[in-house]
Amino acid sequence: MGLLALAASTLSYADGLGGFPTLWESHDPGLQQQLEKTLTDLGLDDAVRSKQLSVTLVDITDLEEPREASVNGDEMLYAASLPKIAILLGAFVEIEQGHMALDNDTRSSLTRMIRKSSNADATRMLNEVGKDRLLEILQSNSYRLYDPQVNGGLWVGKEYGKSGAYQRDPLHNLSHGATSMQAARFYYLLETGQLVEPGLTREMKAMLGNPGIKHKFVKGLADYPDARIFRKSGSWSRWHADSAIVEADGHRYIIVALAENKNGGLWLSRLIKPIHEFMVPRKLAKAGD
């Protein structure tokens, strides 16, 4: 269906973080073909062509040799609550630097923000980090999770409530935005220990586990109880987003999908199952078993 032209750019983009490859340099044609075929089989060709759907998929079973595939991976969309992962990062950076304490109250607030998508806790933690400070962290050379060179990325420019935006992103005028590639990078940097020190990395990942809202990817993987999901989703009006690390049967992958359509939540529930089936192949029973 000609989706390859819509895949994320393979431009040279050196992170300079930990010696791991960048996702843009880890494109895998075979995985790309599988992703495109899945979206075709689901009838989502038009959604991809019209840029209503962005998907980035990364096999991280071998962290040193990730395999990436995407459609519209560098397209920035409104992402509702998904960018709360940026607030999570900001909080842990400030905790690591000694500017915030990871006490029981902060731990509980961050966990509710991620697992239950609490807007009150997200706004509280955003203000604890500092609005300008969070944007500084996202755009810093240490992370570059929002970077004009790759059409943006994770952005939080509004509290999660009725107040107006205080700083929309400079490229797309979004208050809460993401590209699927940069959201996938967040998880890859987390898994490779490039966000914060190891103890805090474990704390961050634990908060992303045990999802409290059973929709989108979680709903789509309901038939796979052995799959462990570490995720953050978001929905508002016609915008639907989900992002996750999925671990099962010795395999591990990152999946991020952003949709701008009233049926977007259903799209995400439907696409995760066939993707999971080729990312985590079922083992064939041995003769005589």
The CATH number of the domain holding residue 177 is 3.40.710.10
Question: So what's the pLDDT on residue 10?
Answer: 35
Average pLDDT over every residue of 244-252: 97
Burial class of residue 175 in the structure, from the number of CB atoms within 10 Å of its CB (0-12 exposed, 13-18 middle, 19+ buried): buried
Domain membership flag for residue 252: yes
Position 88 pLDDT exceeds 50: yes
Domain membership flag for residue 284: no
Question: So what's the pLDDT on residue 281?
Answer: 87
Domain count, the chain: 1
Domain membership flag for residue 182: yes
Position 104 pLDDT exceeds 60: yes
Distance of CA 121 to the CA centre of its chain: 20
Q: Could you tell me the pTM of the whole model? A: 0.93
Domain membership flag for residue 218: yes
Position 144 pLDDT exceeds 70: yes
User: Coil, strand or helix: which one is 180?
Assistant: helix
Q: Which residues of 119-134 are buried (b: 16+ CB within 10 A; e: fewer)?
A: eebbbbbbebbebeeb
Position 154 pLDDT exceeds 80: yes
Question: So what's the pLDDT on residue 286?
Answer: 45
Domain membership flag for residue 286: no
Residue 52 structural domain: 3-279
Domain membership flag for residue 90: yes
Domain membership flag for residue 166: yes
Domain membership flag for residue 289: no
